[in-house]
Amino acid sequence: MSYKQATRTLRKKLGSRVATDEASLFAASFDGSKLAYPPEAVIRPRTEEEISEVLKLANRRRVPVTTRGGGSSLTGSASPRRGGWVLDLAHLTKLRIDRSTGMAYAQCGVLNGTLQRAAEKAGWFYPPDPSSQKYGTLAGNIACNAGGMRGGKYGVTRDYVLALRGVLPTGEIVYWGRDLKKYAAGYNMRDLWIGSEGTLGVITEAILRLIPKPPARRTLLASFRSEARALQTVKAILTERLTPSILEFLDRESVGCAEGATGQAVFPGNAGRPVLLIELDGHEAAVDEDRQRLLELLRPRAIAIREADDEKEVDALWEVRRKCSGAMFELGDSKLNEDVVVPLRSQTKLLAFIRKLGREKRVSIATFGHAADGNFHVNIMYHREDKDESARALEAVRALMAKVLELGGAISGEHGIGLAKTPFLALEHGAAEIAAMKAVKQALDPADILNPGKIFEVCEVWKKRPVRVRLPWDHK
Ligand SMILES: Cc1cc2nc3c(=O)[nH]c(=O)nc-3n(C[C@H](O)[C@H](O)[C@H](O)COP(=O)(O)OP(=O)(O)OC[C@H]3O[C@@H](n4cnc5c(N)ncnc54)[C@H](O)[C@@H]3O)c2cc1C
């Protein structure tokens, strides 16, 4: 469907802030999932009032609007599936930190990494740390309820949002919450927007809670004879009530790929073993005590342990984690990256299942993830040109999702549903639950203009692959 007339009307109001040039349309046609759909125009409003104007017009003319931050979503949630307008808000980047209250006042386009650095400079700490912090905006993080490596100890984005300001799909400007640490006035619409993937409203500003920066940190890397042994150690660490800020698990394949990329073994003479990357943080004395207890737990269980003594060594230990994701492309030129989450009791069973799945479906699978909260990134690798292997990779995803739910887990821990996980929503939720979600959408967005075709509709991805593009981070 063409929205040319509506676009012309909008251009009369916003002038050059409505772009229709090829480069702008191409850049806004896909996100980190590489699922690409061409929009009709890319709109870069300067103010909330302009955003309101855009949405009012879109409502009258039934133009689909996809709000976009950094475009790093891995599920297609920022791809404009129904065309129409992309509302690009990445340029709205004002940020202020109140040093006395520990609150950050951020416009939607501030990058996660920018807030982290600004908070640290002010002596504060913003824990949510998605690996996309160089590209992902705070509004994108909020819309996806992004997590990260520190989630097990510090929680996810939702735990730091005090208030949101923004625009309803019908164009009214709203303010959910205040810069207060307590708030109980009416329905909690703020939390409804968090994780709604841009389908219920447009976030323009957020007030975020910061915490005092932990003064000390220790980093360790341990390798294990088997995945089961590594995950039993995770359980032992958590049972002992140790709360590492980072407890990353990497399976054999992930370690092998990282070693291939760096050209050296993580543990010389002990290559290709699963590892745990562990960080403790807090006050010096507490970190020292926890380090002793951690080493006592690790020594009888691990084959080898490396501990960083200075920042250079910390960096070296992180190399394996940093490199593994990009290095996986040596296993196949395409990746289905699933961010499933399972309870602690099911972690070993999940990893055993994934190994069997890889053998049965004859696809390479590399798994790493945030073991403290059971959120594993299962990377099913395949070669796009090989039709048979591509079909087997999709079958593997279906089998994985069914197993995750059988194990008491969830189909997404941090990336959301977007387009990529639409076939599985009905496995995760019953009919009454989905009907309740759709009723909320209908109430707030009666014309269904905001990010239509996401979350609830099974996408053609699962029938015929739409155009996919290659992204800069694919081969990092
Ligand atoms: C290399 C890489 C590593 C990643 N690592 C992690 C990770 O560790 N943890 C994690 O959770 N995710 C991770 N992601 C996924 C992604 O970065 C996050 O989902 C991030 O929150 C998206 O932010 P963004 O600004 O890029 O949003 P976009 O991709 O632009 O949009 C994502 C969703 O948010 C909506 N949205 C954007 N801005 C607004 C707004 N102003 N108002 C309302 N809705 C809006 C969009 O409509 C869309 O539905 C990773 C992605 C990449 C590419």
The mean pLDDT values, 10 residues at a time, for the chain of 476 residues are 90 97 97 94 98 98 98 97 97 98 98 98 97 96 97 97 98 97 95 98 98 96 96 97 97 94 86 94 97 98 96 90 90 93 96 97 96 96 92 93 95 96 92 97 98 90 53 43
Closest alpha carbon to 193 in 430, 449, 440: 440
Atom of ligand 1 nearest to the CA of 89: 41
Please give the pLDDT value at position 419.
94
Ligand 1, pocket-test mutation among 29, 72, 379, most atoms within 8 A of CB = 72
Ligand 1 proximity of 31 Cβ (cutoff 6 Å)? yes
pLDDT score at 388 = 93
Does the CB atom of residue 74 touch ligand 1 within 6 A?
A: yes
Q: Where are the domains of the chain?
A: 97-212, 216-328, 331-416
Residue nearest to atom 19 of ligand 1 (CA): 73
User: Which residues are CB-neighbours of 143 under 8 A, at least 6 positions away?
Assistant: 67, 69, 77, 193, 194, 195, 196, 197, 198, 203
CATH topology of domain 331-416: Alpha-Beta Plaits (3.30.70)
| C-alpha distances out from residue 40 to 89, 198, 470, Å | 17, 19, 22
- Check residue 463 and give its pLDDT: 64
d(CA 160, CA 104): 10
For ligand 1, the distance from its centroid to the CA atom of residue 157, given in whole angstroms, is 11
CATH of 216-328 given 3.40.50.1110, 3.30.450.20, 3.30.70.2190, 3.20.20.100: 3.30.70.2190
Task: Check pocket membership of 64 for ligand 1, CB cut-off 6 A.
Answer: no
Q: How far is the CA of 306 from the centre of ligand 1 (A)?
A: 33
Of all atoms in ligand 1, which is nearest to the CA of residue 129? 8
Quote the pTM value: 0.95
Atom number, ligand 1, closest to the C-alpha of residue 454: 49
107 lines ligand 1 (CB under 6 A): no
- Give the end-to-end CA distance of the chain in Å, rounded to a whole number: 38
Q: In terms of C-beta density within 10 A (0-12 exposed, 13-18 middle, 19 or more buried), how is residue 427 classed?
A: middle
pLDDT at 302: 97
Spell out the CATH class of 97-212: alpha beta
User: Are both 97-212 and 331-416 of the same fold?
Assistant: no
Q: Is 35 in the pocket of ligand 1 (CB under 6 A)?
A: no
Between CA 140 and CA 71 the distance in angstroms is 8
Residue ID of nearest Cα to ligand 1 atom 36: 140
89 Cβ inside 6 Å of ligand 1: yes
With a 6 Å cutoff on the Cβ, whether 130 touches ligand 1 is yes
Q: How far apart are CA 464 and CA 222, in angstroms?
A: 43
